[in-house]
Structure 1
Amino acid sequence: MTETLDLSPDELLTTTRTVRKRLDLERPVPMEVIRECLEIALQGPSGSNRQTWHWVVITDAEKRAAVGEYYRRAVEQYLAGPGAAGKLHAEDPERGPVQRRVGDSVAYLGERMGQVPVLVLPCLQARTLPAGNQSGLWGSILPSAWSFMLAARARGLGTAWTTLHLTYEQEVQELLGLPEDIRQTVLIPTAYSIGTDFKPAPRQPLDDVLHIDGW
């Protein structure tokens, strides 16, 4: 078992951040460590205990570069749009500077995704998507993806929750040889973090978003 950081449960939950600029692109990540994190992820919830998840771990340099190029194109399109992180709340004196830093870090990772040592792609087997309520479907994989990130943080790894690669979902599917009934979710770049001193992020006050017994 890999040595883990001395973090309380609350510290682990509040300091597992999206890491972009502090990913160590040069240090290899042993597959044993990735497997440990995935074993923990498999303890996540699964609707009706179906466990129809699959985890694609990409370490091949050429495939990482190819996925990274699709991600770079998607980031370029995203940053040019009105909803980009660096443009949201731009005039807000408190949130504006934070959002601009987020936009800068998104651009940074966009140029380097293909250089990250390990890319993890949680997938779900589903031949068709429900026409209505899909929360049960995605709820059977996304919590496990977060569990993977928590386990990685505990082992000194940095990760990021990214979805922009889905702009090129079909291309990535063909690149990786994924069957037609395999649905991609988040793309999680995984590397040792440069330093482990992450802190809770600024968030809205709880009372601004809390509703009890109704809206």
Structure 2
Amino acid sequence: MVTDPGQRSAIGEVYRRAFRAYAAAGGTNAERYADDPARQATQLRVGASAAWLGEHMGEVPVLVIACRRIAKLSAGSQADVWGSLLPAAWSYMLAARARRLGTAWTTLHLDHEAEVAALLGLPEDIRQGVLIPTAYYTGETFKAAPRQPLDTVLHLDRW
């Protein structure tokens, strides 16, 4: 958990660079949904929110970076490695929401994982899995996001 203003600011600068590269590469791809105006509108809102966070990450009061000790990261061990960290991070986000705290799941900083590790003084065998900015929600639009119908994203027995 990072609460020190200087550390947050430094991580925010790294994140800003990562976000700008992401945006330059196409970002949320809102144009991909040109044939679905409702979904495109959602993607545009997501993009605007992500852009704001990209510029203001260092100002968020708490940055949670979920980490895991990993001696060697190999392709065949991904589920074993991240299978406990990712659900724990998600549970943290649910607990934060229940307390009217806003969070976001992002991994863009991992493009510069070594730089963030150096800022935090992480040992070489500690790997970052997710960055979760956390703050009190101050707006009035805290609501569930629109979701695709389940039968369009879940397949049983075969595609």
**In structure 2, what residue type is equivalent to 1:123?**
C
Alpha-carbon distance, 1:90 to partner: 4.3
Cross-structure match for 1:104: 48
Cross-structure match for 1:70: 14
CA RMSD of aligned residues (A): 1.5
Determine whether 1:85 maps to 2:28. Answer: yes
User: C-alpha deviations, 1:119-145, integer Å up to 9, x for none?
Assistant: 110100111012324112111100000
Query: Which whole-Å CA distance do the structure 1 matches of 2:47 and 2:29 have between them?
Result: 4
* Counterpart secondary structure, 1:199: coil
Cross-structure match for 1:124: 68
User: C-alpha deviations, 1:158-197, integer Å up to 9, x for none?
Assistant: 1110111111101001110000000101111111111576
Q: How many residues align?
A: 158
Cross-structure match for 1:38: none
Residue from 163, 177, 187 that aligns with 2:121: 177
150-159 vs 92-101, which deviates more? 92-101
Distance 1:61 1:81, change over 3 A: same
Cross-structure match for 1:145: 89
TM-score normalized by the length of structure 1: 0.69
Structure showing greater relative contact order (alpha-carbon pairs closer than 8 Å, 6 or more residues apart): 1
Residue from 152, 156, 159 that aligns with 1:208: 152
Which is richer in helix? 2
Query: Which whole-Å CA distance do the structure 1 matches of 2:107 and 2:130 have between them?
Result: 5
User: C-alpha deviations, 1:45-95, integer Å up to 9, x for none?
Assistant: xxxxxxxxxxxx11111110000000001101100113x115352413221
Unaligned runs of 5+ in 2: none
TM-score normalized by the length of structure 2: 0.93
Structure 1 residue ranges (4+ consecutive) displaced by more than 3 angstroms after TM superposition: none
